[in-house]
Amino acid sequence: MRTVTVEEHFASPGFLDGPGRQLKERFQRSGSRGARIIEQLNDVGAKRVAEMDAAGIDVQVLSLNAPGIEQLEAVDQITLARNANDFLHGALKAHPTRFAGLAALPIAAPDKAAAEFERTVRQLGFKGALINGHTRGRYLDDKFFWPILECAMSLDVPIYLHPTRPPKAVLEASYSGFSPAVTEMLAGAGWGWHIETAIHLIRMILGGVFDRYPKLQIVIGHLGEALPFMLPRLDRNLARELTGLERSVGDYLRHNVHYTFGGFNFPATFLDLLLEVGASRIMFSVDYPYGSMAAARAFLDQLPVSAADRERIAHGNAEKLFNL
């Protein structure tokens, strides 16, 4: 069975000494595991391909590691995005059958971001873009960013909406008062990342993004960032009579959003997502190097779905969405 994973990360030269500095320092404090992650992030060559072969992964769709560039000044975003995308292009050229790419975009400068989006898709062969959450507290429902969304729709490629830390005010209000280690995990991978991404997507829906750009496709990870569990409740309490939207909230979540499960190898959570959105909206992922390729592949093989749906989740849905 062919397999494509679509939330797989890399670090370009200089990234871990720039916007990823805090991430690098945390890895360095965590011993051999952290050193291994840094090594894996920096490798987009033979070692990564060998690890893919060992786990039965045919293609990785690569993106710049969080926190990305979204919290930088616009001028720095522009420079680092182009450098990261050119670096990634080199990996795609070296391994064209094993890697595909998602662009980093300088979204603080939407005109420049749209131009870079066009360049990476039309000239470099990228398959979409990845945006790491808010930009200093501003979300994609803000019309300031809509030239980027319009560009995605015109290029007919998706945007992967990846988690980032909540804005400072939210961190202080909701996640402070604990030890630094607990706050970091609670605001991050333990809870905050996922709720932050869910709120971001809900803001996009309620802000009319998908009424303005009805063919726009968004990808979110972690089996839906808790949204499938809340989908019926959202539909009931944010009805069209209240929102003024053209469709129900659930309709946008079922027709403008795709879902991956990197790092969330949880059968019950997967079943909830499957029941709410169907197999045609779910894609295999590992969240490499944070997730294990072997564990993710084993989870895929054990999913309680038909053989046809397993093929869709393993590769078919990603091939269709990303035009692989």
Catalytic residues: 287
Q: Report the alpha-carbon distance of residue 37 to residue 95 in Å, rounded.
A: 21
How far does CA 2 lie from the centroid of its chain? Answer: 21
Angle at 70 between CA 66 and CA 84, to 5 degrees: 65
Sheet strands side by side (includes 59-64): 4-10, 59-64, 99-101
Q: Report the alpha-carbon distance of residue 56 to residue 301 in Å, rounded.
A: 11
Q: Report the alpha-carbon distance of residue 127 to residue 132 in Å, rounded.
A: 17
| The length of the chain, given as a count of residues | 324
